[in-house]
């Protein structure tokens, strides 16, 4: 019902498992957008992992299950900032085999944020429904130490904000900002940067809506 009303859901907080029920609500065949959507996924981890301790739905499986459930379009899904410790040398194989465009942190640094923006716009497509899922651990712990799974060597907040501004015009149908752990945020820098990411995302959504609905 909320989806049918035309709502663009933007959430902040929670762990990454919240993405799957959001996508079920706004991206399934019964949704307003009627079928698989594109995803712009910022994260240190691909989160396309299989069951853990026998549990299928967990905070690192949503980009496996969402594709299996027909909620997302693999050819329109891009994962950016991937890095971090390998618990299993094959842990990212499923995401690669699925056909997601994966920009690991070394490629990000090699090509620079403007080229990452261009590649993201190419994958997302013009005017097509696209969801943003933003794990705060894509940021370097210098900018976001209070996250669930911190990984060194991430992007800067300046790169993050520039990246989001570069997405202006894309048809963003919803977004989440996840994995903030407030009790660890002793300096409040994570909250400051998370709210800045939120502000930029909401701004590009509002910009597109206002341009599509000009005042008479
Ligand atoms: Mn992560």
DSSP letter string over 167-207? TTTS-EEEEEEE-B-GGG-TTSHHHHHHHHHHHHHHHHHHH
In a domain, 184, yes or no: yes
Question: Rounded to an integer, what distance in angstroms lies between the CA atom of residue 77 and that of residue 207?
Answer: 23
Residue 192 has pLDDT above 90, yes or no: yes
Quote the ligand 1 centre to 60 CA distance (angstroms).
8
CATH of the domain at 117: 3.40.800.10
pLDDT for the residue 177: 98
pLDDT for the residue 216: 52
How many domains are contained in the chain? 1
Quote the ligand 1 centre to 16 CA distance (angstroms).
8
Quote the ligand 1 centre to 179 CA distance (angstroms).
8
What are the beta bridge partners of residue 102? 79
Quote the ligand 1 centre to 208 CA distance (angstroms).
28
Residue 32 lies in domain: 10-212
The strand pair at 130-135 and 101-104 is best described as unpaired
For residue 34, name the pLDDT band (cuts at 50, 70, 90).
confident
Quote the ligand 1 centre to 190 CA distance (angstroms).
15
pLDDT for the residue 86: 79
Q: CA angle, corner 150, sides to 164 and 165, nearest 5? A: 5
Quote the ligand 1 centre to 44 CA distance (angstroms).
5
pLDDT in tens, 52-99: 999 999 999 999 999 999 999 999 999 999 998 878 889 999 999 999
pLDDT in tens, 106-134: 999 999 999 999 999 999 999 999 999 99
In a domain, 4, yes or no: no
In a domain, 137, yes or no: yes
pLDDT in tens, 152-178: 999 999 999 999 999 999 999 999 999
In a domain, 1, yes or no: no
Q: How many CA atoms lie within 13 A of 83 on its CB side?
A: 20
Quote the ligand 1 centre to 129 CA distance (angstroms).
23
Quote the ligand 1 centre to 31 CA distance (angstroms).
27
pLDDT for the residue 28: 82
Quote the ligand 1 centre to 216 CA distance (angstroms).
44
In a domain, 130, yes or no: yes
In a domain, 62, yes or no: yes
In a domain, 3, yes or no: no
In a domain, 193, yes or no: yes
């Amino acid at each position: 019902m909320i989806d049918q009303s035309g709502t663009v859901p933007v959430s902040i907080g929670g762990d990454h498992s919240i993405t799957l029920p959001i996508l079920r609500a706004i991206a399934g065949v019964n949704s307003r957008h009627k079928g698989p959507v594109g995803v712009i996924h910022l994260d240190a981890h691909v989160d396309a992992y299989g069951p853990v301790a026998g549990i299928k739905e967990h905070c690192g499986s949503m980009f496996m299950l969402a594709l299996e459930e027909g909620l997302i379009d693999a050819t329109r899904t891009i994962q950016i900032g991937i890095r971090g410790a390998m618990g299993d040398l094959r842990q990212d194989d499923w995401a690669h085999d699925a056909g997601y465009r994966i920009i690991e942190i070394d490629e990000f640094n090699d090509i620079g944020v403007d080229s990452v923006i261009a590649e993201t716009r190419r994958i997302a497509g013009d005017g097509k429904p696209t969801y943003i899922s933003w794990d705060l651990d894509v940021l370097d712990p210098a900018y976001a130490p209070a996250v669930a799974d911190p990984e060194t060597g991430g992007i800067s907040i300046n790169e993050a904000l520039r990246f989001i501004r570069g997405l202006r015009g894309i048809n963003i149908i919803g977004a989440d900002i996840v994995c903030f752990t407030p009790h660890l945020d002793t300096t409040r820098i994570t909250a400051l940067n998370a709210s800045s990411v939120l502000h930029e995302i909401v701004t590009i959504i509002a910009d597109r809506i206002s341009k599509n609905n000009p005042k008479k």
